[in-house]
Amino acid sequence: IAGMTAAIYVKRANKTAVVLEGKIYGGQIINTLNIENWPGDLGVSGADLSQKIYHQMNKLGVEVEFAEVITVERGKDGFIVKTEDGDIEAKAVIFATGTEPRKMSKKQTEDAGKRAISYCATCDGALYKGKPVVVVGSGNTAKHEIAYLSNIASKVYHIHHDDPIPKDAAAVFVAIGRVPNTKAAEGLVKIDENGYIVAGEDCKTSCPGVFVAGDCRTKA
């Protein structure tokens, strides 16, 4: 969503924008069944919302290429974006590569069986109103998920890595941290000890001409 939004603003500023997408447009949100806190929509699925923004971007004339970015290097007049399908030259680059949730152990994944697995209580908690759920994790994120779910679920179990999952839980909420997708930015911009690209609200990185938007940027 951050990447497509950035492309919309770039295009509206009368610049040429190319979006490079390695998997599927929309990112994490496409896994959310129903979004009820998006302004202007009483309820929309993550997939439908992504499609709306994608069509808005297309209508403006943004070019989209489905290719995995390997790395970004400085070029003679800007930057060279190296992808699995070849190189692309650019005057500026916006990283909007997001993060991925850390997965449960193989043992816990097998233990979960066919039960729903979610990585966002705010997104999916309402689906399990009045039902028992379990939160996996030991940090601040897990505590926030527990606090949120305690007002929705009939019971909230709190377990740690490799603990068995209670059999009566209707869903498993995983809160064991996230991993930023910033490998392609290594050596180009400053990255913090947790792997996030260092930038403020202005989205400027340590390298002039390189910006960052969305979840892969350092923030509280």
* Residues that are catalytic: 120, 123-124
User: Token pair of 195, please?
Assistant: 């792997």
Write down how long the chain is.
220
- What Cα–Cα distance (Å) separates residue 88 from each residue in 9, 11, 19, 41, 199? 21, 18, 11, 37, 24
- What Cα–Cα distance (Å) separates residue 63 from each residue in 37, 74, 96? 29, 22, 16
Q: Are 217 and 199 in contact (CB under 8 A)?
A: yes
Which positions ≥6 away from 46 have C-beta within 8 Å?
A: 26, 29, 30, 31, 32, 33, 35, 123
- Burial of 78-93, coded b for 16+ CB within 10 Å and e otherwise, reads ebebbbeeeebebeeb
Q: Are 90 and 18 in contact (CB under 8 A)?
A: yes
Q: Radius of gyration over alpha carbons of the chain, in Å?
A: 19
Quickly count: other Cβ atoms within 10 Å of residue 150's Cβ. 14
